[in-house]
Structure 1
């Protein structure tokens, strides 16, 4: 009789520790050679010991931790959804916000605030993500909102979200967190002591069961230093101080950077300045907001079907689409690294401004002079009045110890980019400490949902050793891909991974049987955040309709002109033709991938049979 059958007939149940213990008893009763039995017993004892340690560690995580009161630091995009998710899980959130308004970087301020180094909104900003790809999973943008939202209007959405889910009453405004440290009994309780300062200078020290850090990446301006910079007589500022190109009227401006904000600042300034120069170290891949047939690009790119297409094919297709409209080499924008491994700039008009001569591309800065700059290609520009550094932001969480949140990206360790893996208790979560292609808000929401499920005891983390190993492996992969320490990933695989941990990831095969139309939209259509509210905890009854009507909701706001019947028929034929072409492409690519995988598996089986 097999050991497994003996085990179940012994009535030890399914507990892993009982399983190991039962095997010990069984082996002792078997008539085997003494030496073999001794070796087997030694192996099982070591296995039981390791299992005891791992299970005891997970047991300590849950049994000694009674999370109820949660401190949410920040009321921006990640802080709002963190507080709302705490309420969803029956927790008691206290959200501490240093300003007098929600929204974080989306809170527009007419004038810059001295010594304020976090990200700020400027006049010409428009979202890079379309509205239904950037909203939370159970609260869509109104149908009347344009496909891409002007920066100032985004805050209206977050205000409506906070009001709808009654989050505001849990927020303390004008309260700055000055210190987060472990409580004296942290090893047993997992609790934290948070020190904050009110607008009147009052210092308050409170104990919380858990902490959700929601200050994000846009916390401290990155201002590079170049030789001779102190001799420069013009004005130097960071893009977080920029509001409008009108302030640079008739001036010569140099913008440094290859990101979205660098393109926005350069383009907006070019309408008012005498001349604008754009200095980039590595160049940038420039993408428009709209893709083929006027469909928002992120709705075409962020699909689950795209996820199964090899990266080389996606790179080739995207390159072809870029080259149909732009010649990055002639425009001086061509990057040194291949697509998806270099800077991406979403901008609709920068090529036109370069062709008009109002923007001129330059290489990286070598050094400053008293009135201008010298570049790495040997060229120089004089009579520069303003230099704007659109060079991003640095990690900055001074009120948390470095052994919890590292001081630099190199030192930052987060299990699945959320939990510090070396803490004894999972009562500290960092929400929004990443960069991705497309909107960050839906990914932040999944991080918050997972963290709150862990706090509430509905989800468990693996052993400390496994979390550390996974974290190191991910950091190593990022370093190999980008050549520097950063957290940057495509949104769908990571979101699906978190959704699986939470229990809200739909199963495609089951969906295809129960609801074929939804399955097609789910797999081939845009990866709307609503898909993570179809099933599982806290599902939303409107998720299915939101997915099926997603395209109509996206374009509704732009259909402000009524057509005559004949015009509509012509348009309908054109759209239908385009849709048929797209469907043929999808079918062709799907068949190609199917047969490719099929023949690869067959060849593998033949080779395996031959070797055996």
Structure 2
């Protein structure tokens, strides 16, 4: 009997998993029956821009937090698909930090090229997954939103590809319930021009806070105050952006900070991270972790230790993204196909403990980059994913860290070489801080069209 694999989510991770199986089929190997359930009406996951916030037209929680003026905040060369490069897709070199529409076109371009749509059931969220010990299979209950009808299907394997940037972590602050302005999480941020002329308070100390602060100022915010919990990001911010220790309370529009300073603000944006949240899984299958480089309980960062027939992709805190998802997907596929044998539970526990212990020693971003690079190498050497220069990608990340320290508004104007093809990206003709039109047509035309 043909085995069945359920893939939950048709974002970058889910599409990587479908592509991994398709690649094996193209080489003449028999593959399982694949079904990918996607709650949105289109694929691309978080890269599928949608103006909705809160709930979607079917009353489901909105998955995506993509905002209009997002540009890649890391070199595209470090996330390139080795089996479908940027050269393959765009037929010419493009810059290293493209806007969202360009990256969405690239992600979905590979999916269209491989006709992966035939595996995907859109508008079909997974409502519950449970493992039946007596049969050794998963029962997966899904809902067809268009028909408003639920059904249950049986699968041999389940691969969770929903990501972990869709359920906001929302802290509380004294007086925030009486704040007379707008309070929102970054998950609901869509349009920077909404805040033209406004005084923003951005709470957070990582990538979302950094990017939303910069683009809000770029599109006309009067000022942005970034409030951090543990330490300042410490960049050489342009005029109009300042950093302050954690917010302690709000009195009307006045924000009070831990260092005793104050600032009057109009809007508060919580860039306070996301929860690993999987309510559709029965409790004994549910990953429970905070954002970290190697979540405990996942062998090779993929396989649920207590039941390796359940797999998770992309659950790590990430430097590498698409390329890491691909390598994880190829590894997961090879376990399903029987190419890679799973070790004993004791051996899995030892391997997990080794990686978790090493993660706890990491003291700098460079060490984190090396950690995830070594993880990538370990998986890559065991699968037939196309070769690419992972060390070059790691060096790019380290250069990128220096570039950000040198110029937080100018690091996107740098250009890198592809670890897959060796192609050198062009330097953009328009500096990012001056590039107000983020459309793909404008970007590709700017890049030498």
Scaled by the length of structure 1, the TM-score of the pair is 0.59
* Contact 1:77–1:441, Cα closer than 8 Å, also in 2: yes
Residue in 1 aligned with 2:9?
Answer: 74
Q: Secondary structure at the match of 1:221?
A: coil
Match in the other structure for 2:143: 197
What whole-Å deviation, never above 9, does each CA across 1:259-309 have from its counterpart, x for those lacking one? 222122112222422322111123355xxxxxxxxxxxxxxxxxxxxxxxx
Q: Does 1:474 align with 2:355?
A: yes
Contact 1:117 1:220 in 2 (8 A): no
SS in 1 for 2:285: coil
Q: Which has the larger Rg? A: 1
1:105 maps to 46
* Residues 398-455 of structure 1, C-alpha deviations (whole Å, 9 max, x = no match): 11123222333398511121001122xx321101111232x31111111111111001
In structure 2, the residue corresponding to 1:267 is in which secondary structure?
Answer: helix
- Which of 299, 322, 337 is equivalent to 1:415? 299
Instruction: Name the SS for the 2:377 alignment partner.
Output: helix
1:281 equivalent in alignment to 2:229: yes
8 Å CA contact retained: 2:13, 2:313: yes
Structure (1 or 2) with the greater helix fraction? 1
Q: Which residue of 1 aligns with 2:312?
A: 430
For residues 277 and 396 of structure 1, do their structure 2 counterparts lie closer, same or farther at Cα, with a shift above 3 Å needed? same
Contact kept, 8 Å, 1:117 with 1:240, in 2: the verdict is no
Q: Structure 1 stretches of 5 or more lacking a match?
A: 1-65, 286-332, 334-349, 507-520, 529-545, 561-612
Cα distance in 1, alignment partners of residues 166 and 370 from structure 2: 20
Alignment of 1:543-562 (within 5 A): 549-552=421-424, 554-555=425-426, 558=428
Gaps of 5+ in 2: 25-30, 396-417, 431-449
Say which of 268, 282, 288 aligns to 1:401: 282
Q: For residue 444 of structure 2, what is the aligned residue in structure 1? A: none
Which structure features the higher share of strand residues? 2
Q: CA deviation at 1:178?
A: 0.3
Supply the distance in 2 between the matched residues of 1:228 and 1:417 (Cα, whole angstroms): 41
**Corresponding residue of 1:594:** none
* Aligned mates of 1:193, 1:78 — CA distance in 2: 22
Alpha-carbon distance in 2 for matches of 1:215, 1:460: 26
CA contact (8 A) 2:305 2:345 kept: yes
Q: Within 1, Cα distance between the matches of 2:386 and 2:109?
A: 27
Per the TM alignment, residue 527 of structure 1 is displaced from its structure 2 partner at its CA by 6.3
Aligned Cα root-mean-square deviation (Å): 3.0
> 2:106 corresponds to which residue?
157
**Could you tell me how far apart the structure 1 residues matched to 2:54 and 2:166 are?**
14
CA distance in 1 between counterparts of 2:232 and 2:18 reads 37
| Residue of structure 1 equivalent to 2:84 | 139
SS at match of 1:211: strand
Cα pair distance change 1:488/1:179, threshold 3 Å: farther
Q: 2:18 aligns with which of 83, 88, 95?
A: 83
Alpha carbons of structure 1 residues 547 and 154: separation in structure 2 relative to 1, 3 Å: closer
Per-residue deviation at 1:87?
2.6
TM-score using structure 2 length: 0.79
Return closer, same or farther for 1:489/1:94 CA change in 2, 3 Å cut-off: farther
Matching residue of 1:344: none
The answer to whether the aligner puts 1:501 opposite 2:390 as a matched pair is no
